[in-house]
Amino acid sequence: MADPSSQFGSLDRAFMQAIALEGLAREKYFAELAAVNPDLAARVAALLAADAMQDTDSGIRGEDALVAVRSSAGVGGDAGILTGRKIGGFEIGPLIGQGGSGAVYAARQLRPARDVAFKSLRPEMAGTRARKRFELEAEHMALLSHPNIAKVIAAGFDDDARVSWIAVEFVSGAKSIVRRCMEGGLPLHQRLELLRTACEAVASAHAKGVLHRDLKPSNLLVDDAGVVKVIDFGLARALATPDGRSVATETGEIVGTLLYMSPEQCTGDPRAIDVRSDVFALGAVLYELITDKQPRIFDGIPLHAAILSVSDRDVPVPSRSNPTVSRDLDAIVAMACARDPRSRYGSAQELADDLARVIHGEPVHARAPGAWRKLQWWIRREPKLAAAVGATALLTVAFAVVSGWIAVEKSNESYRAAEISRRVYDQLVPAARKLGITQDAPYIREIDEAAYELSKLVNGEAHEVSADLALKLAFDWLKGVGHDSARSESWAKLAESSASALPSLGPASKTALEARCVQTWAFAQAVAEARVLDPALVRQSRQRYVDLLPIIEARDDVDQASDCLGALGEFAEEDGDYASAANYYQRAVKRSTRIKGESAELVVQTRSYLVDALRKQERWDDALRELEELLTIQREHERGFSPWTIRFAMQRGEVLARLGRHHEAELQLVEAEILVRDRIGPSHGMRNRVRYTLRQVLAAQGRSEEAERDWSDVALAPQR
């Protein structure tokens, strides 16, 4: 009889099979593997955890981790060899820590004289590209100027020792935040104050687009003076070997990280990780500070089971371990450590603010995820079943509302009937979105149409609720699955007619003007969808925008005015009139900024169109100014890794190259290449665009050979 474990093959084969799977498929694969070969499952689980945290070099998921497993010479095999050397103006002292990726030494900077922590990368990791990324990461860390974040002092590469190194602020007498609190017997309010300070430091780094991704007590230090210092910000990634030993493949070290790791960090997808992953880790540390117990227990279970359990089990309620813990702190831990990232605090600063409220005896904002939050989590795990159940529930509610109206009509309770129709609009329609079912679903239109018919029967066609529902249907038919421009225009005309006939609204009302906007969009869409474009209809479509603009641009309550300006900008671009296009986009940006604020996504998107128009006019200085402002806004609002931010980073590098600022362009393009690879995908076409520009920049500096060697095109994945 064949060995059942043979279906999984070697470590290489099992790992590559696992890395190709996502979500429930990966969990099922792991369960089958663990049943027949627990040891192999544990080794694969360790590689997956490492891969999720690493900075891959090959562009092939998991390949670097396997290479390292085959060639690793053991943890810290050559650590300690730098003691006594002088490197980069630092005199290296005794070894104070080590791991699979490198070592940490006590050192002394010669000028100015001061103690530092000297971190070195293992020599076998010091290839050209690894060095560049290591140094770029150090530059990013140097931007983090905060009194509670250990400062990066210098970084470089030593040709004699063949090591990349980073010198970091030395934390005198440092102890982990948990150890300091326990050994010092600190009262609750002092413990909360220390963690609140750490949260604010983390929030400061997030605002500049830098994640930590390995927050735990040993990376939250408290010095002799009681000052908190967050260490290794980003260095866990910069120092990672391909097998991830900065988070450690040694069982004890992996478990040490798993104790505080967020569920999404075990998925193997780095794009799932954002600021809320760090919030989870801070919440897990808070649990330990207020209970003197670790947030998770992995005793007696194999490693792969420990990794899988991270996504399946909640962090316990603190008061169950320590009855003196208040309900407010229970709620804070539950919200910070919610398995669903969308149920957590949106930022580390929000967590810090709630801790401050507890310290000052004020009500907190945290609420433990209730039944509704758990329903949302289930919906995301079982989307098809949830959609079916949600649709059935909504149709049942709609039927109940209609039945209720009939009963009301029979008893001549006209006021109650009007109230029901208003609730249909205010409650039933938004309920569809709350269940995660978008207006793309055709049956949502059916519910909307049933609601409109109910309102028409109760209130008549010329009524505010009827007009609002008709306008919503006009929007619904304009986009999504099975959209119909003709139906959209028909409903928009009905909405305008209903609103215009009402003394309380009138033809100049928000509803009437938005209905005119939708008619314009629907007509333009119908023209664009025609197989044979009629030039007369195209001109008529554009003229509708021109006629509508003076009426709605001055109205802050008509959301579509900015869209109208954007459409006119697109028309101008089609005609090659980039100056007029830029003018329209600038007006749209100014208007949307006034109404929604500079950080609104609509404003950011419109400014991106403006950048494109400026680039087409070769107004490079103006384009650079826009891009730098956009990058600042995105990072200040914790959108440092969004697709828009990555696009702006790439464009900034291209514009700097156009301006002849080649060194700055190189740094920006290297950063953009890493962001595209890690956040969008290693085989995305944008990555080749960045690399092409980078080769041009290096060639302009007389470095053509290096350009072709290190930045050749990425082999794109086959299109499905």
165-179, pLDDT tens digit by residue? 889 888 888 899 999
Using omega within 30 degrees of 0 as the cis cutoff, is the peptide bond preceding 112 cis?
Answer: yes
State the CATH number of the domain containing residue 217: 1.10.510.10
Q: Which of 169, 188, 223 is at the close of a domain?
A: 169
SS3 sequence of 530-563? CCCCCHHHHHHHHHHHHHHHHHHCCCCCCCHHHH
Res 371: pLDDT = 46
Which range of 437-446, 500-509, 688-697 scores highest in mean pLDDT? It is 688-697
Band the pLDDT of 268: cuts 50, 70, 90: low
The SS3 of residue 103 is strand
Is it the case that residue 108 has pLDDT exceeding 50?
yes
The more confidently predicted of residues 305 and 235 is 305
Quote the distance between the C-alpha of residue 479 and its chain's center.
26
User: Both 147 and 90 in a single domain?
Assistant: yes
pLDDT in tens, 640-688: 778 888 889 999 999 999 999 999 999 999 888 888 887 777 777 788 8
User: Both 396 and 419 in a single domain?
Assistant: yes
pLDDT in tens, 361-385: 888 888 765 544 444 544 454 454 4
Is it the case that residue 238 has pLDDT exceeding 90?
no
What would the DSSP string read from start to end of 285-321? HHHHHHHSS-S---TTS-HHHHHHHHTTSPPPPHHHH
User: Both 44 and 159 in a single domain?
Assistant: no
Is residue 465 within 8 Å of 421, Cβ to Cβ?
A: yes
User: Both 318 and 214 in a single domain?
Assistant: yes
Residue 47 belongs to what domain range? 4-71
Res 377: pLDDT = 46
User: Both 450 and 341 in a single domain?
Assistant: no
| Helix H or strand E encompassing 97 | strand 90-98
User: Both 55 and 111 in a single domain?
Assistant: no
Res 443: pLDDT = 59
Is it the case that residue 692 has pLDDT exceeding 70?
yes
Res 332: pLDDT = 95
C-alpha distance from residue 568 to each of 230, 310, 545 (Å): 50, 51, 7
CA angle centred on 135, ends 132 and 137, rounded to 5°: 110
Say if 138 falls within a structural domain: yes
The more confidently predicted of residues 304 and 217 is 217
What would the DSSP string read from start to end of 144-210? ---TTBPPEEEEEEETTTTEEEEEEE--TT-EEHHHHHHHHT--HHHHHHHHHHHHHHHHHHHHTT-
State the Rg of the chain over Cα. Answer: 30
pLDDT in tens, 87-99: 989 999 988 876 5
The SS3 of residue 220 is strand
Provide the token pair at 129.
Answer: 């590209």
Say if 525 falls within a structural domain: no
Res 177: pLDDT = 95
Res 199: pLDDT = 96
Band the pLDDT of 80: cuts 50, 70, 90: low
Is it the case that residue 426 has pLDDT exceeding 60?
no
Residue 493 to residue 422: CA distance in whole angstroms:
21
Residue 445 to residue 453: CA distance in whole angstroms:
12
Say if 236 falls within a structural domain: yes
The SS3 of residue 116 is strand
Handedness of CA 696, 701, 703, 706 (dihedral sign): negative
Is it the case that residue 620 has pLDDT exceeding 60?
yes
Res 339: pLDDT = 87
Say if 480 falls within a structural domain: no
pLDDT in tens, 139-149: 667 778 889 99
Residue 540 to residue 631: CA distance in whole angstroms:
38
Band the pLDDT of 59: cuts 50, 70, 90: very low
Res 149: pLDDT = 92
For the question of whether the overall pTM of this predicted structure is more than 0.85, the answer is no
User: Both 633 and 711 in a single domain?
Assistant: yes
The more confidently predicted of residues 177 and 481 is 177
Is residue 177 within 8 Å of 220, Cβ to Cβ?
A: yes
Contacts for 4 with CB less than 8 Å, ≥ 6 apart: 36
The more confidently predicted of residues 254 and 275 is 275
Residue 652 to residue 158: CA distance in whole angstroms:
31
Over range 538-545, report the average pLDDT: 82
C-alpha distance from residue 214 to each of 35, 88, 125, 583, 666 (Å): 30, 28, 21, 46, 29
Residue with tokens 């969004």, as numbered in its chain: 642
Q: Which of the residues 51, 214, 232, 243 is marked catalytic?
A: 214
Is it the case that residue 123 has pLDDT exceeding 70?
no
Burial of 291: CB neighbours in 10 Å, binned 0-12, 13-18, 19+: buried
Residue 495 to residue 484: CA distance in whole angstroms:
17
pLDDT in tens, 31-41: 788 777 777 77
Nearest to 118 by CA among 73, 163, 174: 163
Residue 532 to residue 529: CA distance in whole angstroms:
9
Q: Which of 401, 426, 460 is at the close of a domain?
A: 460
Which range of 53-57, 562-566, 699-703 scores highest in mean pLDDT? It is 699-703
Say if 664 falls within a structural domain: yes
Over range 509-537, report the average pLDDT: 79
Q: How would you list the strands of the sheet with 175-176, edge to edge?
A: 175-176, 220-222, 228-230
Provide the token pair at 617.
Answer: 């006019």
Please compute, for residue 524, the number of CA atoms within 13 A of its CA located in the half-sphere on the CB side.
Answer: 20
What would the DSSP string read from start to end of 664-683? HHHHHHHHHHHHIIIII-TT
Residue 52 to residue 273: CA distance in whole angstroms:
9
Over range 3-21, report the average pLDDT: 62
Say if 126 falls within a structural domain: yes
Say if 622 falls within a structural domain: yes
SS3 sequence of 556-573? CCCCHHHHHHHHHHHHHH
State the CATH number of the domain containing residue 691: 1.25.40.10
Which range of 5-19, 374-388, 466-480, 569-583 scores highest in mean pLDDT? It is 569-583
Q: Phi and psi dihedrals of 92, rounded to 5? A: -85, 130
User: Both 346 and 453 in a single domain?
Assistant: no
Is it the case that residue 187 has pLDDT exceeding 80?
yes
Residue with tokens 């740094």, as numbered in its chain: 667
Res 422: pLDDT = 55
Residue 214 catalytic?
A: yes
Is it the case that residue 638 has pLDDT exceeding 90?
no
pLDDT in tens, 315-365: 999 999 999 999 999 999 999 999 889 889 999 999 999 999 999 988 888
User: Both 164 and 180 in a single domain?
Assistant: no
User: Both 284 and 420 in a single domain?
Assistant: no
Res 501: pLDDT = 87
User: Both 333 and 266 in a single domain?
Assistant: yes
- To the nearest 10°, the Cα dihedral for 258, 260, 266, 272? -160
What percent of the chain has pLDDT above 70? 70
When divided into structural domains, the chain yields a total of 5
Say if 513 falls within a structural domain: no
Residue type, 674: I
| Helix H or strand E encompassing 86 | strand 86-87
User: Both 228 and 358 in a single domain?
Assistant: yes
What percent of the chain has pLDDT above 90? 22
The SS3 of residue 139 is helix
Q: Which of 41, 71, 101 is at the close of a domain?
A: 71
Nearest to 339 by CA among 373, 382, 365: 373
Nearest to 14 by CA among 55, 43, 35: 43
C-alpha distance from residue 131 to each of 126, 127, 164, 205, 417 (Å): 6, 6, 6, 23, 71
